[in-house]
A and B are shown apart, each in its own frame.
Chain A
Amino acid sequence: MVFSPSMLWRTVIGLEVHCQLGTRSKLFCPCPAAFGAPPNTHVCPVCLGAPGALPVLNREAVRLALRAALALGCEVDRASRFDRKHYFYCDLPKGYQISQYARPLARGGELALASGKRVHLRRIHLEEDAGKAIHDRGAHTLVDLNRAGVPLIEIVGEPELGTPEEAQDFLTRLRETLVFAGVSECDMEKGSLRCDVNVSLHRRGEPLGTRVELKNLNSFRNVGAALEREIARQRALLEAGERVQQETRLYDAARGETRVMRAKEDEDDYRYLPEPDLGVVRLGEEELAREQAALPEPAAARRARWQSELGLSAYDAGVLTATPALAEAFEETARLSGAPKEAANWLANDVAAAVTQAGAGGPRELGYGPERLAALIALVGAGRVSKSGAKDLLAAMRGNERAPEALLTELGLAQVSDEGELEAWCRGAIAAAARAAADVRAGEEKALGALLGKVMAASGRRANPARAREILLRLIREEP
C-alpha cells in the first residue's frame, strides 16, 4: 500500500452563524425591519447615525434571542450588556456596531447532528446588522442603510466539526431549531441566515493549525463547496511544507474558489467600550420560565414521536418537519381526522408539493387547512370518493372556500356504488375485453386489472373500485 500523507490530516471546522430575528422593527429604532424595500427608505436618525440620536432596545428582539438560547440549551445571563465595537466602513453608520462582547446574552448550549454527535456552542449574543454596500453597480460604491440596525443573534459554535458534511448538517439542524422555536425565518436568500466558517488542518496528535476564516457563504451548498476547496488548498500548502496564513477569505461561488479578503493584522483593534447609551438587559426567572414553557416542541422530537407513536415513516416525518407550518398542519389534521397515516400521506406528498410550488407560507394559505383535509380524509374513508377521485377533489379544494363535500357533488366526483350502474360498466368491460375475462376465468386473476381499468375509464373514474371488482368476478364466474 502506498503511504498517503493526506490520511494524517485532521480538519477542524467552527461555524459562526448570524441569524436575523423575526421582529417587525429594528433592534434600536422603530424603523421597519422588512426585507426588500427601496434603498434608504427604512432609515431614521438612529440607524442613520445622525448626531444626537440614541438607541432604545426592542424587547421583542430580546425575547426572540432568549428563545433561541433556551431552544439550544444555553446558560442565559440574567444581566447581559451591550458594547460598542469600533471599525470604519461605509455601511457602518456610527463607526461602531452595538454588539454584546463582555457579557453575551447566553453561553454554552449544544446541537445534535443527524449522526447523534453533539456539537457544543460557545455563546449567543445580540447585535445590530450593518447596512449594505453595493460594489457592482457603476464606478462607485453605493450604500443602502435599510438593513442597518436590523436585529441579529450571532451563534458561535465550538470548533468541533470534522467534515464539510458535518458543517452542512450543523447548519441544517441549527436552522431547523431556530425556525421551529419561532426565532427567525432563516432564509439565506434574504440574508436572514448568514454563516462564517473557520477551518484549520493539523496532524493527529499535534496542536491545532492556523485558522482561516471564510466569508460570503450565502447558501448551505456554498458552505460545503467552499470548505472542500479551502481544505484542499490548505492540505496542498501543508504537504508542500508551506504555512497557512491567518486570514479572512471570501468564497467566489461563480469561480468555485476562495480568495484573500484581508490579512488578520495586529491593527485589528475594535476598542470595545461598554455602550453608555443602554443599561443592562435584565432577565427575570419568571420570564425565563415563561419562554421555556412556551417553546414549541423541536422538530427532531416531533419526528421521533410521530414515528414511534403514529407509525409514520422516517421519510414522511422528515418531509412534514420541513417547516413549522407543515408540522402544525399535520398535527392538527391527524388529530381532527383520527387518521395520522392518511394525514401524513396527503400532507407529505400532494400538499407539501403544492405549498413548495406555490411558495406559500403553509397549507392553510392554499385552502388546505386541517379541517378541510380531515373532511377529505373522512370522505375517502367512507368510500364516498375514490382514491383517484380524491386527488381531483384536492386539486379542486385549492383556493376554493366551498366545503369538500359540496365540491364533491358539484364536480361529480362522488364515487358510484350503485349496483345497477356498476354492473352495466362491468358488462361493457367484459364484452370489450373478452380475452382478459377468459384469462380470469382460467384462474389468472392478474388479468382482472385490465378489466377494472376499463370500468374506471368508462365511469370517468367514479366507480367504486372494490365493488366493481366484486361484480366483475361474479359476472365472469356466472357466465359460462
Chain B
Amino acid sequence: MSSVDLETLRTLATLARLTPSDAELTRLAADLGRILEAFEALAQAPGPRPDEPPATRTRADRPVPALDPEAFLAAAPAHEGGFFVVPRTVGGET
C-alpha cells in the first residue's frame, strides 16, 4: 500500500488542482512511495479513538460592517464592477 502509482498520483493532482510535468510526477511518485514506506508502521498501529476536541467557542449574532471592497478587490487578479472576474464557466463544481 505504500507505493503510489502514476495513475493514482495523476488523480491526486487533479483533485488538488495541480499539473506537475510527467518528469515531476515520476519523481513525486518515488518520493511519496519512499515516504509512505517509511511511515508504514503507522498503518499497522492499532487505531484507538481520536480525542474529542473541546466545545467550540461561539459568537453572538451581531453583524458588523464588512470590509471596504476596495481593500481586497484592488488586490484581486481581475475584478470588474465590484465582482471578482474569472474565466467563463458554466455552473457546476468541476
Contact = CB atoms under 8 A, between A and B. Distances in A.
A and B directly contacting (CB within 8 A): yes
Interface of A: 23-25, 30-33, 38-45, 48, 50, 56-62, 79, 81, 86-90, 133-135, 139-145, 216, 250, 261-262, 267, 269, 271, 278-282
B90 A24 contact: no
A144 B83 CA distance: 6
A250 B80 CA distance: 28
A143 B81 CA distance: 11
A57 B91 contact: no
B66 A42 contact: yes
Contacts of A279: 53-57
B62 A250 contact: no
B14 A143 contact: no
A18 to B, nearest CB: 15
Contacts of A24: 61-63
Contacts of B57: 56-57, 279
B87 A141 contact: yes
Interface residues of B, number: 38
A89 B90 CA distance: 11
Contacts of A59: 58-61
B59 A57 contact: yes
Nearest to B82: A39
B56 A40 contact: no
B67 interface: yes
Interface string B66-87: 1101001100001011111111
A43 B83 contact: no
A410 B47 CA distance: 83
B69 to A, nearest CB: 5
Interface string B37-66: 000000000000000111111111111101
A30 B58 CA distance: 11
A271 B14 CA distance: 13
A58 B89 contact: no
Interface in B19-34: none
B22 to A, nearest CB: 20
A30 B64 contact: yes
B60 A87 contact: no
Nearest to B79: A40
Contacts of A33: 63
A261 B61 contact: no
B67 A261 contact: no
Interface of B: 11, 14-15, 17, 52-64, 66-67, 69, 72-73, 78, 80-94
A58 B59 contact: yes
A281 B56 contact: yes
Given A56-B58, A60-B61, A144-B83, A88 B17 contact: yes
Nearest to B50: A274
A33 to B, nearest CB: 7
Given A58-B58, A140-B86, 8 more contacts: A31-B64, A60-B60, A139-B88, A142-B83, A143-B83, A143-B86, A279-B57, A280-B53
Nearest to A92: B93
Chain A to chain B: the 8 pairs with minimum beta-carbon distance, closest first: A279-B56, A60-B61, A142-B83, A59-B58, A143-B84, A39-B82, A25-B63, A282-B55
Contacts of A79: 52
A43 B67 contact: yes
15 contacts: A30-B64, A40-B69, A40-B82, A40-B83, A57-B58, A59-B59, A59-B61, A79-B52, A133-B86, A135-B88, A140-B80, A141-B86, A143-B84, A144-B83, A281-B55
B51 to A, nearest CB: 11
Contact of B61 (A23, A86, A89): A23
A469 to B, nearest CB: 61
Contacts of B85: 140-143
A48 B67 CA distance: 10
Nearest to B72: A48
Contacts of A271: 15
A144 B67 CA distance: 14
B66 A262 contact: no
B68 to A, nearest CB: 9
Given A56-B58, A280-B53, A280-B56, A141 B89 contact: yes
